[in-house]
Amino acid sequence: GQNIDQPTEMTATEGAIVQINCTYQTSGFNGLFWYQQHAGEAPTFLSYNVLDGLEEKGRFSSFLSRSKGYSYLLLKELQMKDSASYLCAVRENTGGFKTIFGAGTRLFVKA
């Protein structure tokens, strides 16, 4: 089975840095994704980690610790357009590959 936990909501200020945490329990771990979803729109891919460590991509970075079942998404120099839901998703191989999504963290960026 699997379980993915992330905070329901977070608020941060424009220009600041915010870290969104995700913990997971799963068998057959095969990678962790972060997706961004604006209200009323489709999720869009942000990052993928399969090995421990930090992956940096512009203002966004994602970290993974497989031994701790833990990941975070770091957003720097926040902009108003970053207000969205951020979905943590785990890819698992339990006789077939499947991606399981967490409930998402709604981020509000205020001026």
Partner 1 sequence: DTAVSQTPKYLVTQMGNDKSIKCEQNLGHDTMYWYKQDSKKFLKIMFSYNNKELIINETVPNRFSPKSPDKAHLNLHINSLELGDSAVYFCASSVRSGSTYEQYFGPGTRLTVT
Site of interaction with partner 1 (CB under 8 A): 31, 33, 37, 41-45, 48, 50, 85, 87, 91, 96-101, 103-104
Are 111 and 14 contacting, i.e. CB atoms less than 8 angstroms apart? yes
For residue 11, give the 3-state DSSP assignment: strand
> Could you give the CA distance from residue 100 to residue 11 in angstroms, rounded to a whole number?
25
User: Which residue number, 76 or 91, has a Cβ lying nearer to partner 1?
Assistant: 91
User: Which residue number, 74 or 100, has a Cβ lying nearer to partner 1?
Assistant: 100
Radius of gyration of the chain (CA): 14
User: How near is the Cβ of 97 to partner 1 at its closest, in Å?
Assistant: 7
Which tokens go with 1? 């089975």
User: How near is the Cβ of 65 to partner 1 at its closest, in Å?
Assistant: 18
User: How near is the Cβ of 92 to partner 1 at its closest, in Å?
Assistant: 11
User: Which residue number, 21 or 30, has a Cβ lying nearer to partner 1?
Assistant: 30
> Could you give the CA distance from residue 110 to residue 50 in angstroms, rounded to a whole number?
33
